[in-house]
Amino acid sequence: MKALVFHGPGQKDWEEVPDPMILKPTDAIVQIERTTICGTDLHILKGDVPAVTDGRILGHEGVGVITEIGSAITDLAVGDRVIISCISSCGKCSYCKKGIYSHCLADEGASGIGWIFGHLIDGTQAEYVRVPFAETSLYKLPEGVAAEEAVMISDILPTGHEIGIRYGNVQPGDVVAIIGAGPVGLAAMATAGLYGPSRVIAVDLDPNRVEQAKRFGATDGVVSSDADWREQVLAMTDGLGVDVSVEAVGVPATWDMALSLVRPGGHVANVGVHGKPVEFPLDTKWIDNIMVSTGLVNTNTSPMLIKMLAQHKIDAGDFISHRFALGDILDAYDTFSRAAETKALKVILEA
């Protein structure tokens, strides 16, 4: 088959590789119909995720058709159309029983990490993928839901929802600032409305993304290249600061921005994948009674989000800005990596 293979920082190629095979009775093989590229894939290509080694097939999102199942699988069948979760879950270990699938202890890739696709085992930017723990890591595609929209359930919607909104403890009436109007930041905006905030403020360097954010639930927008960007946000909060500040980029500057906006007693939810350390000025912030959260998505809200998608309570089609054939994945990466120029949000790759 053909797949997108990582060959070290800055190096990737669309090349022939062996077809995946069933290795364990709980495996399934899925033929990819749709996949996409994530900001985390760009972090990998920058060398920010050293656990990804030369020869790894990238990608952790996708929708496809099961072509083969292991002998232990009873709830799935060949021919089922499924959504692939970015987090793999054995369903049996102590973490999985608590819903903390991101730290599944099963020995697949590495014990204690649920994000294995395109990280510790071969991923979804390929014609076929082996899915471990298929019964607890795949979701059947509901009737009437387009495959390209369902791809958003693989990662960005649960990530924005869980790590940004739920971990940020958004409450009715809150003022929420989301720093970074990329796909995950927009997913946080799209799901923030489930909790009744009074304002959702999109903050981004790109004026186009700030404007686009209003289609995803943002009530207000601030362009962070403005010299008075912070004053603009504080003016929407009676000068007190926001109740919840969501960092959805993953660089030190946006982390500093998130801390600078939160009011005493508020929450800072870090969603971004950071490649460098950041500073936390505990000498001045200890007195503010703020809560700081971060983490890897568990995808334990994916079933709920699938229901919302099936009932058109969330319009995932708005995330899609570009479509490519799977074989044109190198062009898709180029487009996605130059999002400020190309106005790319999520690029869909169709097999």
Domain at 160-294, CATH homologous superfamily: NAD(P)-binding Rossmann-like Domain (3.40.50.720)
pLDDT band at 109 (very low <50, low <70, confident <90, very high): confident
- What backbone phi and psi angles, to 5 degrees, belong to 258? -60, -45
The answer on pLDDT for 328 being more than 90 is yes
Q: What is the pLDDT of residue 340?
A: 85
Average pLDDT, whole number, for the chain? 96
The answer on pLDDT for 196 being more than 90 is yes
Q: State pLDDT tens for residues 85-102.
A: 999 999 999 999 999 999
Is the Cβ–Cβ distance between 36 and 123 less than 8 Å? no
DSSP state of 151: G
d(CA 37, CA 28): 22
* Domain extent listing, the chain: 2-155+299-350, 160-294
Is the Cβ–Cβ distance between 32 and 129 less than 8 Å? yes
pLDDT band at 292 (very low <50, low <70, confident <90, very high): very high
Q: Which fold has domain 2-155+299-350?
A: Quinone Oxidoreductase; Chain A, domain 1 (3.90.180)
Region 200-210: what's the mean pLDDT? 95
d(CA 4, CA 57): 6
pLDDT band at 14 (very low <50, low <70, confident <90, very high): very high
d(CA 326, CA 310): 25
Q: Which of 27, 7, 28 is nearest to 17 (CA)?
A: 7
Q: What is the pLDDT of residue 301?
A: 97
Q: State pLDDT tens for residues 277-287.
A: 999 999 999 99
Tell me the β-bridge partners of 293: 269
pTM: 0.94
Beta-strand runs (E) in the chain: 2-6, 12-16, 28-36, 62-69, 81-84, 128-131, 138-140, 175-179, 199-204, 220-223, 242-247, 262-270, 291-294, 320-325, 346-350
Is the Cβ–Cβ distance between 41 and 12 less than 8 Å? no
